[in-house]
Copies of this chain bind each other. A is one copy, B any other.
Amino acid sequence: MNAMTNRKVSALAQEAGAQFVGDPEKAVAGAAPFESAGPEDITLAESPKYLKELDKTGAGAVIVPESFKDFEKYAGAERPCLLRAKNPRAVWARIMQVLYPTRHPTWGANDSMIHTGKNFRCGKDPNIGPYCVIGDDVTIGDRAVIYPLVSIGDGCVLGDDVVVYPNVTIGWGTRIGNRSVIHAGTVIGKDGFGFAPDGEKWEKIPQTGIVQIDDDVEIGALNTIDRATFGKTRIGSGVKTDNQVQIAHNVTVGENSLLVAKVGVAGSTRIGKNVIMAARSGASQHVVIGDGAVIGPTAGVAKDVPAGAVLSGAPAYDHRRWLRVQRIIPELPELKKKIDQLEKMLEKMSKKEL
């Protein structure tokens, strides 16, 4: 992807909330990693390693952390412009958003290539790809982008500036907030997995609830988010999920939580705000995970987690303890041998005593 146009670095700094030093007229055309950035690029130097090499970089502008002391020395035109911020990575993200705005194809909304049901309410500037199927009583907000081959069930309500990528299935009654993004192949609002054992067979428990996704959410590709048995499965605003995440019926995910690839969350579990569930981790049903908790990769949460806890392991427990345990586990054969030796020594000694 090429950046759209050249931008003055001093203006970018101001927009992104960073301090600026250097040539106020300096412009960049794009962003690049530290090692390969050229004079037309802005780059990011967070680590001490990169900060030491600031003079060697070919980059036209560099974002540095607040802790970088030599900031003022970079006023000269022979050196790169610097942008300094408390959170340099967030500044980097915001500047990249300006340099590389998301662009979507323009389909308009060609009635001959989409299928809409009764009572379709569509906002301003619709952009709906070919071969989309939209059910009855669907509402889609202004400037929403629906990529091709998407199925939207009856009674769904999608907000303004929503983006839905190809081959997504959205079941009846789903609500999606403003600016939320659903990546390709994801299935939202499928029946929750509810079956009652009846001797040999399983009786299906109808799933009467819906899925509600709030504002500014980004759902990864090939996620499954099931509808509630009653009420709502709820994804709070600002939540981001990676690919192949599974969220069962009646789960709540609090605001700004992050679910990394292949996470699975079982039914009725409540995940707090600003929680991070690392890749391949999971949580059992009816568990409460407190705000700000961090669940390590492959961990399995089997009981309630206090706010701010950092857990690893399956079943999961305190991460620092888990680290100590992991150092011991590969040494279990030696530990067992030592125990056997101690036992023999003791036996020998106790015989002597007799």
Give the interface of A toward B (CB within 8 A): 1, 31-33, 36, 87, 89-90, 92-94, 96-97, 99-102, 105, 113, 115, 117, 129-131, 133, 135-136, 147-149, 151, 153-154, 165-169, 171-173, 183-187, 190-191, 193-206, 208-209, 216, 218, 220-222, 224, 226, 230-231, 238, 240, 242-244, 246, 248, 255-256, 258, 260-262, 264, 266, 273-274, 279-280, 282, 284, 297-298, 300, 302, 313-315, 317-318, 321-322, 324-326, 328-330, 332-333, 335-336, 338-339, 342-343, 345-346, 349-350, 352-353
In the complex, the 5 A-B pairs of residues with the closest C-beta atoms, listed nearest first: A90-B198, A93-B203, A151-B166, A169-B184, A133-B148
Could you jot down 5 A-B contacts, CB within 8 Å?
A94-B203, A105-B153, A133-B166, A201-B238, A298-B300
**CB-based contact A345/B339 at 8 Å:** no
**CB-based contact A89/B196 at 8 Å:** yes
SS of A interface (majority): loop
Chain B residues within 8 Å of A302, by CB? 297
A280 to B135, CA, bound (A): 34
**CB-based contact A135/B105 at 8 Å:** yes
In the complex, which of the residues B200, B202, B208 contacts A240, with contact meaning CB atoms closer than 8 Å?
A: B202
A201 to B87, CA, bound (A): 12
Task: Take A165-B190, A262-B246 as given contacts and tell me if A328 and B332 are in contact as well, using a CB distance cutoff of 8 Å.
Answer: yes
Chain B residues within 8 Å of A184, by CB? 151, 169, 171, 187, 190
**CB-based contact B113/A113 at 8 Å:** no
In the complex, which of the residues B185, B218, B243, B352 contacts A204, with contact meaning CB atoms closer than 8 Å?
A: B218
**CB-based contact A151/B148 at 8 Å:** yes
A1 to B313, CA, bound (A): 39
